[in-house]
Amino acid sequence: MENEELLNILKDHLQRYPKMQPQDVVKLLYQNEFGPGHLISDPLVCLNRLKDEYAYVEPDNDLPLVEDIGNGMARINLAPLDAIDFSLQELAVLFMRSANHVAGEMDLFLGKLSFLKAYYEDLPFCFSYEELDDYLNDYLEQGCPVVSHSETYRQFYKPAYRVVKKEYIPGKLTVQ
């Protein structure tokens, strides 16, 4: 069931974001396993960073507010946030709570990276198997660091979101 869920998550994201590059797929899998990927100790710093980022976000109500990324995690997009009654303060609390309560396991993450190669033919990637393999080899040599979105992904999709545990998302927000 876990592989089926992961395959469906990847298909959904590749349909919505067809120009995803290998590093964007790795970022998605990293967030799937490790959530936000870091502990947050200062609520004010967290909120101020969110406000700073939000100030540059172009509203987009066509983008889903909440996107399932599997393994009990979701991305809450900032672009459609104006369309609902949900504040940046509420989002900052969800994000901090999630960041401080998700651990993840490196072995499981490495298995997800292997899954990418094993299921390459079943997924509509815009890059070759060789590009994926080269990227993953370099990524593994670097010790699997947290990665940012690719320039291509940023240019086409202008990502602005926070990763949270789905169980913390209030009922007024729907997961897609």
What tens digit of pLDDT does each residue of 20-74 get? 999 999 999 999 999 987 767 888 999 999 999 999 999 998 899 999 999 999 9
Establish if 175 belongs to a structural domain. no
126-156 in b/e form (b: 16+ CB < 10 A) is ebeeeebeebbeebeeeebeebebbebbeee
Report residue 12's pLDDT band, with 50, 70 and 90 as the boundaries: very high
pLDDT at 86 over 90: no
Q: 69: which 2 tokens? A: 């990324």
Q: Which residue is it, tokens 């947290």?
A: 146
Looking at the structure of the chain, the number of domains it has is: 1
Establish if 73 belongs to a structural domain. yes
The beta strand positions in 3-130, using DSSP E, are 66-70, 73-77
Mean per-residue pLDDT of the chain: 92
pLDDT at 176 over 70: no
Establish if 7 belongs to a structural domain. yes
What percentage of the chain reaches a pLDDT higher than 70? 95
Q: For 66-81, what is each residue's pLDDT tens digit?
A: 999 999 999 999 999 8
Q: Crossing angle of helices 106-118/129-141, nearest 10°?
A: 160
- With H, G, I as helix, E, B as strand and everything else as coil, classify residue 47: helix
Establish if 34 belongs to a structural domain. yes
Write out the residue range of the structural domain in which residue 130 sits: 2-168
Establish if 27 belongs to a structural domain. yes
Establish if 174 belongs to a structural domain. no
pLDDT at 162 over 70: yes
